[in-house]
Amino acid sequence: MGIKQISRAELKEWQEEGKLFQLVDVREEEEHQHHNIGGLLIPLSELNLNLDKLNLDRPVVFYCRKGIRSQLAIQRLHKRFPEAEFYNLERGIF
């Protein structure tokens, strides 16, 4: 399975176009408080406990500091929800 990537520029286009999608930060709360680009906070360590917070009826874009944890989140979720549309923010937010 190849993980779909989305660039920062593409994400900005989606936001400007008003495209419906969900943005999820999978970092820890302290990291999120320090700097974030919005969206829902679901730390990777708590992902399985918060599946009900995901809106799988629209694309879900995951992000983290460098794009590694967000890829792990997508790998885990894709096994449970193979039809869902998940994207990883390329290279994270830094």
Res 1: pLDDT: 58
Residue 51 located in a structural domain = yes
Q: Give tens-digit pLDDT for 42-84.
A: 999 999 999 999 999 999 999 999 999 999 999 999 999 999 9
Spell out where 1-94 has E strands: 4-6, 22-25, 40-41, 60-63, 86-89
Write out the two tokens for 63: 């992000």
Q: 14 in a domain, yes or no?
A: yes
Specify burial of residue 38 (Cβ count, 10 A radius: 0-12, 13-18, 19+). Answer: exposed
Q: Say if 17 falls within a structural domain.
A: yes
CATH number, domain of 13, equals: 3.40.250.10
How many domains does the chain divide into? 1
**What percent of the chain shows pLDDT beyond 90?**
97
Whether 47 is in a domain gets the answer yes
Give dist(CA 94, CA 91) in Å, integer: 7
Structural domain boundaries enclosing 78: 4-89
* Confidence class for position 94, pLDDT limits 50, 70, 90: confident
- For residue 1, give the nearest of 60, 84, 66 by alpha carbon: 84
Written as six digits, the tokens of 46 are 């708590």
Give the predicted TM-score (pTM) of the model: 0.95
Percent residues over pLDDT 70 in the chain: 99
Q: Decide if 41 is inside a domain.
A: yes
- Is residue 94 one of the residues assigned to a domain? no
